[in-house]
Amino acid sequence: MIYILGIDIAKAKFDVALMINDKFLTKQFANNAEGFDKLKSWYQAKAVDQLHACLEATGIYGEQLARYLQAQGHKVSVVNPARIKAFAGSKLSRNKTDSADAKLIAQFCYEQNPAAWQAPSPELKRLQAIVRHLDVLKHTRQQQLNHLESATEAIVVNSFQQIIAYLDKEIAELNNQIFLLFEQHPTLNRNKELLQTIPGIGKLTAIKFLAEVPEIIHYQSAKQLAAHLGVSPRRDESGELKRRTRLAKIGNQRVRKALYFPAITAKNHNAMVKAFCQRLADKGKSKMAIIGAAMHKLVHIIYGVLKHQQPFNENLVA
């Protein structure tokens, strides 16, 4: 028998709700190795040996617990918080406590049976950390440049220049670490090269995409990948009220941001995407709707290229 465990995760602690015969047993533990072991002792004391644990995707706070439970042989699902929020709305949930949230997540897990989470490989985890930190440093550098433009006192100008020089050094080092990472992992490097065969996808976009999206084999279809990234179209029609079709935007914002300008490039220079966008323009679709559709099309092309492990080919699109 598989028992359901809902987990509401926080930085220092986590609350759990264990479903047994339609009833809940709740408990709170510290979010550290000692707390993980106490959780294991707690559910084993109740003769529970097989779990389907579910928690929201909350960045680094839940990953260690997810890995721990997975290592114990349990099925672990890490789901988009928007799905839990929508589920709460369907249940007219009003209570908002950590314990109540854990119960809600357990109910969601029981009714929806979400897919098992796949932990990213060490090299992908490292790549993601470096790329995200690099984005932070680039943003900080731009802020310092903006301040430098308005500085007049020599001592202030010198200070900004030193900060910018330091940031330039750190950015160069991180770029070097990314280069070494791809050099050390042939499969990762091949995927980067494959993505760059797609008109509109450059080196930087390829790196950012691989940093944010786990192995493509974890997705059953291009449609599933597009939904995960939030680039699927969302229609809003009710009765006589009809609004413009927009992107769902219930996914990885970093990937959508990384694909925005490549989608514009692909719209103009990728024959497949260009023809697709022209058909939408002929139907009177707005500029932003067309760009969103180009992003969606790009994700389908990316999926096909990585799935088949072949350079871009118009006949190999999932």
Condensed to tens digits (0 to 9), the pLDDT of residues 91-115 reads: 776 667 888 999 999 999 999 999 8
Q: Does some domain include residue 224?
A: yes
DSSP annotation of 115? P
Q: Which residues pair with 54 in a beta bridge?
A: 6, 77
Taking the C-alpha atoms of residue 32 and residue 13, their distance in angstroms, rounded to an integer, is 8
Q: Does some domain include residue 10?
A: yes
Q: Give the three-state DSSP class for 197.
A: coil
Taking the C-alpha atoms of residue 59 and residue 45, their distance in angstroms, rounded to an integer, is 30
Q: Does some domain include residue 199?
A: no
Of 2-6, 21-25, 179-183, where does mean pLDDT reach its minimum? Answer: 21-25
Strands (E), 57-118: 75-79
Q: Does some domain include residue 313?
A: no
CATH number at residue 57: 3.30.420.40
Q: Which residue has the higher pLDDT, 45 or 82?
A: 45
Say what the pTM is: 0.79
H or E segment and range at residue 309: none
Mean pLDDT of 213-222: 80
| pLDDT exceeds 80 at position 243 | no
Single residue among 85, 112, 139 that ends a domain in this structure: 112
Residues ≥6 apart with Cβ < 8 Å to 158: none
Residue pair 306/206 in contact by the 8 Å Cβ criterion: no
Shared domain check, 97 and 128:
no
Tell me how many domains the chain contains: 3
Shared domain check, 52 and 21:
yes
Percent of the chain at pLDDT exceeding 70: 92
Shared domain check, 222 and 145:
no
Using CB atoms within 10 Å of the CB of residue 7, give its burial: 0 to 12 exposed, 13 to 18 middle, 19+ buried. buried
- The whole domain housing 265 covers 205-308
Residue pair 267/277 in contact by the 8 Å Cβ criterion: yes
- pLDDT at position 253 is 81
**Model pLDDT for residues 189-206, shown as the tens digit of each residue:** 999 999 999 999 999 999
Taking the C-alpha atoms of residue 134 and residue 254, their distance in angstroms, rounded to an integer, is 13
Q: Does some domain include residue 191?
A: no
| pLDDT exceeds 70 at position 245 | no
